[in-house]
Every structure is written in structure tokens, then in C-alpha cells.
Amino acid sequence: MATNRNVITNTFAQFGGKIGTVIASFTVVKIVSGYGTEFYGDYVTAYEFLAFFGVFADAGLFAIAVRDISRKALKPDFVLGNILAMRLGLIALAVLIAGLAAQLIPTYSDAVKTGIWITGLSMGLTIIAGSLSAILQARMKIYLFSSSLVMGKIILAALVFAISSNFLLPPATGTDLFLRFLWAGVISNLIFCVLVLYWAAREVPLKLQYDKEYWVETARTSLPYGLALVLQTLYLRADLIIISLLLGSASVGIYGVSARVLESFLVLGVFFGQALLPKLAGNDAEADHTLQWGLEKAALFALPIMIGTMAFAPQIIELLSSAQYLTSSSQIGSDKLLYILVPTVLFAFMNQIFTFALVSKNQQKKLLLINALALILNITLNLIFIPQYGLMAAAVSTVICELLVFGLLFKLARKNFTWPVNFSNWAFILGANGLLYLGLKIPFLATSLPLAVLVSGIYYVTFILLFRKNLQL
């Protein structure tokens, strides 16, 4: 129970941090999207293009670092120093390749091509901070990372607001304004990285290290998982890149708002999976129990997110952007896309747990194959159907791929783990969310997003408190 509470505490610390970052990030979306779908589309493209290449700078090294530190077979400073040195080299390579590749795409404007170099700096700082957080993750102090992330995002929101309000800087439009927003991201990520560096240095001595034997062994172990992460990122983000190439910046802007909302939910699943990793790397009995417990809790938190978002998709989109992003007679809007995309939250949460569990069993090669199949399917569906059906095709393709990955990961996990199914717990979870769904149909709640959030939040927290012993919380 104590270790379960540690996982919940760390996950909620990250969730609390995520709430802060979501509010700050959505403030940025609200401001930048207000300059029009094409402007916001360019902004999204600059970041999404880098995300394609940024995953190469991870190469599965974060998960390997947490695993090695948790197993205590090696000194934490040795592991962190070597992992950080490896990632710095990969960051430089990834940014160089991405920046050069962007110059060769004729449909990208000069502003986007320049912006990709700038977002490369943001990405590099974020990855360095993520590398340093491995020691905080392994020692169940991830709340320090979360608080640093919140601070960075608050600073970003403040800078974007200052830029849009012409505070301290002369007015700017077009490309100059676009690049100022991107430089704000660099400044905020620099502060975020420095804060994480400070907390990590309090845990272990920090210095770059090179141990040839460890580098070779880590590369051999992480390469399949790293490639699997690359393919996972590609199949999750292929739609936005293909949209940018086939439909243009305005369509990227519309799809990008719904994608940002979805992404804010999916990160919680990643946090939860990372919090479980030290326990999944333990003995078989502990790992089986952790997997059972984790899947239940994933459903416990993912289902209300799905139900609430589907009930209030138009209101959420208008709140976070503007009416020009809503569905109309002339366009498919971000609200309809979000309605289609949000069911993937449940499967994505569980997929993250399965992924980290399988990494603990050294099943990286099979993860690679699963994500390769998903990538091939997603690209094929997008290329065939986006020209005819537009943004709807991209959203449906994402859902189909997530379902495919869930089915394959579930089958593979069943071969490597023997977790039991607690039908009583699942009945509690499904019953509570069934009542939540019906409650949101009540007229006075169905027409008011703030009231629905308040009432449903009180109801769901009360449910968790009443049945926390049954749910092992």
C-alpha cells in the first residue's frame, strides 16, 4: 500500500503540475490562435516538425536510466552522467538533421523554416531537463520536476502575453511576431532546465561521463526501444505533418487546437507509466500486481476525461481558442475533431503502462514491431483518405491506430505477465463513470461547462474517497 501511495502521490504531483502547465499552455494557445488559423498553423508546424526528430534524441535512454538507477546495480551519478552525455550528442544531431530537412520542404514558409531552428533550442533544453529528471523519478521526487515545469510554462505564458500586448517591446506583426513567440519558448525552457538541474544536483554529483562498456551496452539495450519510441512518435504525429504538406497551415491550425487538448491529457498517461516503472522493474509478483493496479487506475482517471470532453467539446474549443475554430457549414472544426479523438485517451493511458511494463521485461524489439505496424497503417490511411475526406480522416486514422496498438500490446503483455482481473474494482469504476455520463445529460449541467466541472468533480472525488480501500488507493 505504501508504495502504491508513492506512485499515486508522484502521479498526482505530476498531474497537479500538468494542470498548471495546461492552464499556462492553453493561455498560449488562446493568444497565438487568436492571430488566425494560418498563423497558429505555422506555430504548430514549427514545433511538431521538431517533435518528429526530437524523439531520436531520447532513443529510450530515459527509461533505461530510471530502470538502472532503480535497480541500484550501478551508482546513480555514473548512470546519469553517461546517459546525459549520450543524449547531448543525440540532441545536437537531431536538431541539425531537422533544421536542414525543413529547408528542403517547398510548402513551408521562410518563417517556419527559421522557426524550426529556434524550436530546436527549446527541444534540446526540454530533453536535457527530462534526462536530469531520471534521478528524481527513480527516487520518487518527481514533484520537483513538475514544479519546475509549471514555473517554465507560467513564464512562457507571461512572455507570450507581454509580446502580444506590446509590453516592453515595440509592436510587431507577421514573421517578426511569429519568431518572438518562438524565442519566448526558448527562454522559458532555459529557466525550466536550470531549475531541474538544481534539484538533480542536490541528489547526485553531476558531471558528463564516458564509459565505453556502458555506452555500448546501453545502446544495444535501448536501440530497439528507442526505435519503438521513434515509430510511436511518428504514428501519433504523422497526421499533423501530412496535413501541413497536403492541406496547408490553416488546416494545421484547426487540427492543432484539438491535438493540443488531446496531448495535454495523454501526457498524464506518460507520467503515470513513468511513475510505475520502478515497481514494474521489480520481481515478478510485484510487477504483476503493479500492472493490475495500474490498469485499473488508468481507467479510473481516463474515463471521466473522455466523458467530460465529449460532452463539452464545442465549449472547450471556444474557451481555449475562438469561434473561428468551431465546426460550421463551411468547415470541420476543432470541436468535432476533438470529439472523435478523445476516446483514444483510455487506450493511450493503458498503452503507456503496457509499454513501460514490456521495457522492464526487455521486450523492446517486439515494441518496435508493433509501433512500426501502427506507423505504416497511419501513414497509409492518411495518404489515401486525407485528400478526399480532409481532417476527419486524420482523426479517425489516429483512433484506429491507437486501437491496433492497444490490442497488440495487450496480447504481448499477457504473454509476459499474469496479472489478475479484479472484477469488483472494474464494476466500481465503470459504474461510477456510467453515472457520471448520465449526470452530464441533466439539462442544467449539460448547458454549463463550469457548473458541470464543479458538480461532476465533487461527485467523482467523493466516489474515490468512499471506495478508496476497495480500489487500493
Q: Is pLDDT larger for residue 173 or for residue 393?
A: 393
Nearest to 126 by CA among 162, 93, 87, 98: 87
Q: Looking at per-residue confidence, does 68 or 7 come out higher?
A: 68
232 pLDDT above the threshold of 80 = no
Tell me the C-alpha distance between 48 and 347, whole Å. 22
Nearest Cα neighbor of 419 from 302, 303, 298 is 298
How large a percentage of the chain has pLDDT more than 70? Answer: 87
Q: What is the pLDDT of residue 238?
A: 79
Average confidence (pLDDT) over 68-87? 79
Q: What is the pLDDT of residues 289-299, one digit of tens each?
A: 888 888 888 89
What is the pLDDT of the chain when averaged over all its residues? 83
Q: Is the dihedral of CA 414, 419, 424, 427 positive or negative?
A: negative
DSSP label of 56: G
Q: Which amino acid belongs to residue 416?
A: N
Q: Is pLDDT above 50 for 332?
A: yes
325-152-88-45 Cα dihedral, nearest 10 degrees: 10
- Where would I find the H helices in 165-283? 174-203, 212-246, 249-280
Using the predicted structure, report yes or no on whether residue 3 has a pLDDT greater than 50: no
Residue 206's contacts (CB-CB under 8 Å, 6 or more residues apart) are 77, 80, 81, 84, 132, 197, 200
Residue-wise pLDDT for 91-144, tens only, equals 888 889 888 988 888 888 889 999 999 998 888 898 888 888 878 876 767 778
191 pLDDT higher than 80: yes
- On whether the CB atoms of residues 62 and 130 are closer than 8 A, the answer is yes
Q: 11-36 pLDDT, tens per residue?
A: 555 555 555 566 667 777 778 888 88
Q: What is the rounded distance in angstroms from the CA atom of residue 343 to the CA atom of residue 302? A: 9
Higher pLDDT, 55 or 368: 368
* Cα dihedral: 400, 404, 406, 410 (round 10): 160
Question: Looking at the predicted structure, is the pLDDT value of residue 253 above 60?
Answer: yes
Phi, psi of 331, rounded to the nearest 5 degrees: -155, 155
pLDDT of residue 399: 92
Rounded CA separation 19/100 (Å):
35
Q: What is the DSSP letter of 74?
A: S
Q: What is the mean pLDDT of residues 343-366?
A: 84
Return the bridge partners of 442, or none.
none
What's the pLDDT tens digit per position in 399-457? Answer: 999 999 999 999 998 888 888 888 888 888 899 999 999 999 888 888 888 899 899 98
Q: How confident is the model at residue 2 (pLDDT cuts 50, 70, 90)?
A: very low
- The amino acid that residue 30 corresponds to is K
Task: Name residue, grid cell 518572438.
Answer: 180
Question: What's the pLDDT score for residue 19?
Answer: 59
- Hey, what's the cell of 12? 498526482
What's the whole-number mean pLDDT along residues 43-69? 74
Tens digit of each residue's pLDDT (9 = 90 or more) over 304-324:
999 999 999 999 998 888 888
How does pLDDT run across 376-389, given as a tens digit for each residue?
Answer: 998 999 999 999 99
How do residues 143-190 score in pLDDT, each as one tens digit? 788 788 888 888 888 898 898 888 767 777 788 888 999 999 999 999
pLDDT at 195: 93
pLDDT attached to residue 48? 80
* 129, 132, 138, 140 alpha-carbon torsion, rounded to 10°: -50
The reported pLDDT for the residue numbered 310 is: 92
C-alpha–C-alpha distance, residues 105 and 405, integer Å: 30
Determine the 3-state secondary structure of 328 from DSSP. Answer: strand
The separation between the first and the last C-alpha atoms of the chain, rounded to the nearest angstrom, is 8
Mean pLDDT of 348-374: 83
Residue 343 DSSP SS3: coil
Distance CA 307, CA 309 (A): 6
Q: Please give the pLDDT value at position 9.
A: 52
Amino acid present at 381: L
Average pLDDT rounded to a whole number, residues 450-473: 83
Return the closest-CA partner of residue 359 out of 407, 412, 408, 423. 412
Residues 6+ apart with CB under 8 A from 433: 303, 304, 307
Residue 393: predicted pLDDT: 93
Q: Judging by beta carbons within 10 Å of its beta carbon (0-12, 13-18, 19+), is residue 3 exposed, middle or buried?
A: middle
What pLDDT sits at residue 392?
93
Q: Which of 24, 25, 32 has its CA nearest to residue 322?
A: 32
**Segment among 76-80, 176-180, 333-337 with least mean pLDDT:** 76-80
Residue 73 cell numbers, joined: 546495480
Q: Burial level of 212, CB count in 10 A (0-12/13-18/19+)?
A: exposed
Grid coordinates representing 224? 530497439
